Structure 1
């Protein structure tokens, strides 16, 4: 997609599966056992009092694993313990406020968690100050970005393999889902120079900037090739200067995308990688801009018409960023009113998207969404964009 003048920010993990293993419903007063294997993640209790909650992790599997505690939206990460090696038993303590959470494990620390199970924290909220809340927001967002990239790596590998081997039917079925983790955190790659152009530029943008056209959308055009008379999103002849990739070229494009995504993972997992509160809140704004600029018009996924999937992923990422800084924003003057309005606008937008499908079940082809429905979606985006544009100033005013 085009390089935009956006704040260097980060954004947004949809995690869904079923957790294997039994769960006890009593409070965990003396610590909670978590039995980890290659395909199970059994938590010994489903409730705990608020405060410092100890999880005793035992990995009996064949490879490294990761334990995660997700917030109620199943997107934000409230706590995680990485690098639990085979045969290891380790204690992990998470500071948890009252509320509903979900626990899960990641085999080899990539992909979606093996499963999720509800975990309830009871009692009274702590009186932690703004500094602690700010630290929690940053820690939570870094974990979210890294987790999303962890899902992106295997999803892209599967897409690239199907595409390179000529299994177009499978590759088409994987295309939209493979893009979801990237679209949730898209400003991350934009913060790393030319990485986003390599991964996600459309043909018209690459040509305009004189760049080699690679990445998702190069693969997309091969998978949904244009016919004579078809036009690019800029109105030019779709066949001018383009021809279907040869098997050798397909392998090159597939390997390049896999390598670029691997580089993204390396960058976001470096110890020096961090974000600020402004990065987080501006990331929410940036992701909504992505919707307004490319998704509503249908320009983003011009050949596959999978724009609604990207749309929903951008909204997920923006929502996660907002929820992480929401406690800080609510502490400032008029912050409660603003955050309540933003939350309601997110709900409205999600409800409209749900009329066309879901990330889990798939969305209607955007080519089948009529102009009236597109305008309704656009109006909802604009209604959210206005209060969301005030989020960064409100968050920083609370510091």
Structure 2
């Protein structure tokens, strides 16, 4: 779950208006090849080296010259996410490889990882023909789409069980059903988040609400119900209505999965995004601050990332054997570490995260970081 979502900007806004309003400016000359866009982020600007580039594989070469941690997004005009990279520290560089068809897009920088983002309109030029893939990559995309649909399908009955317990006023049954209802979502979160409007409805935390939103009126989804169950210790008619809305919103998500934009690079970038989710929400204990079921979410994120990698591995291992070897090693190490916190051998009952000490959290964080770095290079490996 992203702490804050990018809000929509009207499609009719001109480049000049964006520049005037947001401080987003264009560099005078481009660096690198035709498919490379240099993105320079500061605390107040988001400079891009070019506003037009050929459709196909594009690389965002991001440098954060600001004092705040930032995020960079490549977006469709309606705010669906093509690719993103979070947690870009001051003075650091990141590369994001994506696949785009001809059309209009936006690049957005989010200094401090808050607010609407500083945006720039850009255009991919060309015929709009699909990129020619290695047939193994097309097979990987098809398999991943099937996997994402399976996870969405499996989530609905789990969510319905959770909602029924809420409406029955059965707090203990609802607590038991809460974490299992989230596993399918956590495994495929980048696909769900790519739609833009579903994540804020079902998975936002209170501190992720937009300015002006009322937590008592506008906050919906799992974490609002989590607060009722674990912090408030009571369920109301409003909670029953929220439970019904959660199921409805998740059914909407399930109906859209088949139309999601999925490419080999989006799969690879999505795997990295899942590790970012772990680093920024699960390891810190912020995600499940009332239920302390963070390790269930943690495991779901890791499983989803590993699924993407395993499907892409035949090509990645051929193009970059050393990278594949490192990823195999780091996935195994992280899974072994997580298994130490299981309360059953094969299921999803994990130790309550408030029982995990500071040193153990540091160990988990180090293992996530050790995997995240090579995983950030997976997208480039599959398009070599």
State TM-score, norm by structure 1: 0.62
Residue 256 of structure 2 corresponds to residue 253 of structure 1: no
Q: Distance in 2 between matches of 1:320 and 1:264?
A: 20
Aligned pairs for 1:326-365 within 5 A: 326-332=313-319, 335-357=320-342, 360-365=347-352
Counterpart for residue 67 of structure 1: none
Say whether residues 1:132 and 2:117 are aligned partners: no
2:199 to 196, 200, 204: 196
Count of residue pairs the alignment pairs up:
258
Higher relative contact order (CA 8 A, sep 6+): 1
Output one character per residue of 1:85-136: Cα deviation in whole Å (capped at 9) or x when no partner.
xxxxxxxxxxxxxxxxxxxxxxxxxxxxxxxxxxxxxxxxxxxx96210111
| Equivalence for 1:217 | 223
Deviations 1:309-349 (A, max 9, x none): 000000000000111111111221xx111011001100000
Change (3 A) 1:148 1:283: same
CA distance in 1 between counterparts of 2:190 and 2:82 reads 5
Aligned residues of 1:9 and 1:280 also touching (Cα < 8 A): no
Retained in 1: the 8 A contact 2:171–2:235?
no
Distance 2:152 2:228 in 1: 25
What is the deviation of 1:208? 4.4
- In the alignment, structure 1 residue 174 sits paired with structure 2 residue 196: no
Q: Residues 285 and 297 of structure 1: is their aligned pair in 2 closer, same or farther, counting only changes over 3 Å?
A: same
C-alpha distance after superposition, 1:357-392 (max 9, x if no partner): 067150000000000000000000010111111111
Match of 1:280 among 267, 292, 305: 267
- Deviation digits for residues 207-255 of structure 1, max 9, x if unmatched? 646261100001101110259xxxxxxxxxxxxxxxx652x21221011
Q: Is the 8 A contact 2:296 2:348 kept in 1?
A: no
Question: What is the CA–CA distance in structure 2 between the aligned matches of 1:343 and 1:9, rounded to whole Å?
Answer: 26
The separation in 2 between residues aligned to 1:252 and 1:197, in whole angstroms, is 17
In 1, Cα distance between equivalents of 2:275 and 2:364: 12
- Cα distance in 2 for residues equivalent to 1:273 and 1:371: 39
State the 1:9 CA deviation: 7.0
Give the ranges of 4+ consecutive aligned residues of structure 1 lying more than 4 Å apart after TM superposition: 4-7
1:321/1:340 CA distance change after superposition, 3 Å: same
SS at 2:134 equivalent: helix
Decide whether the 8 Å contact of 1:329 with 1:394 is kept in 2.
yes
Structure 2 match to 1:312 = 299
| In 2: Cα distance, 1:383 partner to 1:293 partner | 15
Query: What's the CA shift for 1:273?
Result: 3.5
Alignment of 1:1-399 (within 5 A): 1=1, 2-3=3-4, 5=71, 8=81, 131-206=134-209, 208=211, 210=213, 212-226=218-232, 246=236, 248-269=237-258, 272-332=259-319, 335-357=320-342, 360-397=347-384
TM-score of the aligned structures, taking structure 2 as reference length? 0.64
* Structure 1 stretches lacking a partner, 5+ long: 11-128, 228-243
Tell me how far 1:3 sits from its aligned partner.
3.2
* Aligned equivalents of 2:205, 2:348: Cα separation in 1: 26
| 2:4–2:210 contact (8 Å) kept in structure 1 | no
The answer to whether the 8 Å contact 1:176/1:306 transfers is: yes
User: Residues of 2 paired with 1:392 and 1:135: CA distance?
Assistant: 14
SS of residue paired to 2:383: helix
